[in-house]
Structure 1
Amino acid sequence: MLKRVASPCKKMVLTLVLAVGAAASGSLAYAQQVLRVSAIPDEAPTELQRKFKPLGEYLEQKTGLKVEFTPVTDYAASVEGLLNNKLDMVWFGGFTFVQANVRSKGQVIPIVQREEDEKFKSVFITTHKDINKLEDLKGKTFSFGSESSTSGHLMPRSFLLGAKVNPDTDMKRIAFSGAHDATVAAVSGGKVDAGALNISVWEKLVSQGKVDPKEVRVFYTTPGYYDYNWTVRADMNPALRKKLTDAFLALNKDTAQGKEILELQRATRFIPTKPENYKAIEDAAKNAGLLK
């Protein structure tokens, strides 16, 4: 029986195929050594970077991966980045998580949230003495944060509608500042009569002396609702997803590292979360005409 011997040409092709395969495999292995992280731009980019740096170093220790933080230009870009496989994990607000979850048909998974995010709140602020309740905002100028912000737009709008105040028809003018700290600046600078932002950023700005609560005051605080979380794609390696989840859950204020990270994240601790927690936000978005 004759043996078929591969021609030199075929051997060359086979060698080339194996080499290309090895290179591709190597590139894939390299890609898997980097965890690409981002966050909704609800504060200034420099502040987001400052807050994330110690957390990124901690996650590198816990996962063995290089962690790269990539700032995005707006809320929509954070959703697009995760859905288009350009990001692996994103700090979402409740509404941006809902948008990502609906658009991907459930192909994103929220892994943890801060304990504070179980009952998050928004505050309405003003410098005007004649504004003391939501109904007083009729005929006034007003600023939300970003259009895709849960605590800076969706939930404040929802509570306004509940008080029979339609921002689009009952107010003199509405604006979108793009970020919570920018909303405070707009109100304190007299650009608008009032505004809404998340309570966490408000308390931070007050504690840092960046706003005088005697000049700019809170006149309404919303009831609590679920908000922020860390979300990953559903196709992430389950072992990596568990490592990340466990790393967040292990953070505590008994260690210097844990204390620094939790204080920067304005968190008591991180707890597990699930998509069902954000059903009320999805319903509010639909009722407000912000989600179809």
Structure 2
Amino acid sequence: MAVAGLASAQAVLKVSAIPDEAPTELQRKFAPLGKYLEKETGMKVEFVPVTDYAAVVESLATGKIDMAWLGGFTYVQSKIRTKGATIPIVQRQEDAAFTSKFITANKAIQSLADLKGRTFAFGAPSSTSGHLMPRHFLLQAGIDPDKDFKTVAYSGAHDATVAFVQAGRADAGVLNASVWNKLVEQKKVDPGKVRVFAVTPPYYDYNWTVRGGLDPALRKKLTEAFLKLDASNPEQREIMALQRTTKFIPTQPENYAGIEAAAFAAGLIK
């Protein structure tokens, strides 16, 4: 009877994601994956949209959601907030060597050095690929965004950063490579007008993280469900295409030590 009690105690798996793209896009990307996880776990899977990055961290910490798609920095924030209780379980193979792309529509900007005195757009303040790691690499290149840029704006999301630059609201900006490639493929950006002029070195980024206290058997089941997803399986092709990967791989807290160090160095974690 104890097992039945456990199942009834948690009949719904609540899942969320950092709002790094428009809410409608997040829902579209998650829908087939949610159906797959329902089949694999035997639970109802509910996608819980959130307003900002901080809300995902808080919802994981307070048990309002069970699992979330986080950036590397948001995972580090959740780890600190929960004293290490949250657990990253899997990431796309691309996330083990992720990059950000610096973009501009200004012909005079050809390198990072040309950004001095310009207006610049990051994504959300808690974004790994739209703020933290680009800031880290700018500082390494001897450019302090707070002192060397004319103004710094935070667009809130990767697709919004492209819109800022395309509309001339910022001389340049930075976003993650995956969203840039998707927007180019979908013809939502004209690479003839907006171009990539610099790319960061690779770093660990996105992962699926579960809350502290989640039933270990369910955590194992979720991990296995992701790891056996196969892009060559016709039924799973759409899931993988929407997640922009061909394979999920295991991940662990240690992978994000570099991001944590970069966040402390940039003063984004006190």
2:21 matched residue in structure 1? 43
1:82 matched residue in structure 2? 60
- Classify the secondary structure of the residue corresponding to 1:36: strand
Contact 2:61 2:212 (C-alpha < 8 Å) held by counterparts: no
Shift of 1:257: 2.2
1:269 matched residue in structure 2? 247
1:57 alignment partner, one of 35, 39, 43:
35
- Classify the secondary structure of the residue corresponding to 1:90: strand
1:145 matched residue in structure 2? 123
CA distance in 2, matches of 1:268, 1:226: 17
Report the TM-score when normalising by structure 1.
0.90
2:74 matched residue in structure 1? 96
2:230 matched residue in structure 1? 252
Structure 1, gaps ≥5 residues long: 1-24
Matches within 5 A, 1:100-249: 100-249=78-227
CA distance in 2, matches of 1:240, 1:29: 10
CA distance in 2, matches of 1:282, 1:99: 9
- Classify the secondary structure of the residue corresponding to 1:38: strand
Q: One-letter code of the match for 1:281?
A: I
- Classify the secondary structure of the residue corresponding to 1:142: strand
CA distance in 1, matches of 2:101, 2:165: 13
Shift of 1:214: 1.1
CA distance in 2, matches of 1:257, 1:283: 40
With over 3 angstroms needed to count, the CA separation of the structure-2 counterparts of 1:31 and 1:70, relative to structure 1, is farther
Map Cα deviations across residues 80-111 of structure 1 (whole Å, 9 max, x no partner). 00001100000000000000001111000000
Shift of 1:268: 1.7
Report the TM-score when normalising by structure 2.
0.97
Map Cα deviations across residues 148-180 of structure 1 (whole Å, 9 max, x no partner). 000000001011101111111111000000000
2:258 matched residue in structure 1? 280
Q: One-letter code of the match for 2:84?
A: G
Q: Report the RMSD for the aligned CA atoms in angstroms.
A: 1.1
- Classify the secondary structure of the residue corresponding to 2:45: strand
Q: One-letter code of the match for 2:230?
A: N
The alignment of Structure 1 onto Structure 2 pairs a total of residues equal to: 267
Q: One-letter code of the match for 2:227?
A: L
Map Cα deviations across residues 99-127 of structure 1 (whole Å, 9 max, x no partner). 00011110000000000000000000000
CA distance in 2, matches of 1:256, 1:73: 34
Q: One-letter code of the match for 2:134?
A: P
Displacement over 2 Å in runs of 4+: 28-31
Shift of 1:29: 5.2
CA distance in 1, matches of 2:189, 2:105: 12
Shift of 1:31: 4.5
Map Cα deviations across residues 38-89 of structure 1 (whole Å, 9 max, x no partner). 0000000000000000000000000000000011000000000000110000
- Classify the secondary structure of the residue corresponding to 1:174: strand
Map Cα deviations across residues 171-226 of structure 1 (whole Å, 9 max, x no partner). 10000000000000000000010000000000000011111111000000111000
Percent identity reads 66
- Classify the secondary structure of the residue corresponding to 2:208: strand
CA distance in 2, matches of 1:40, 1:183: 16
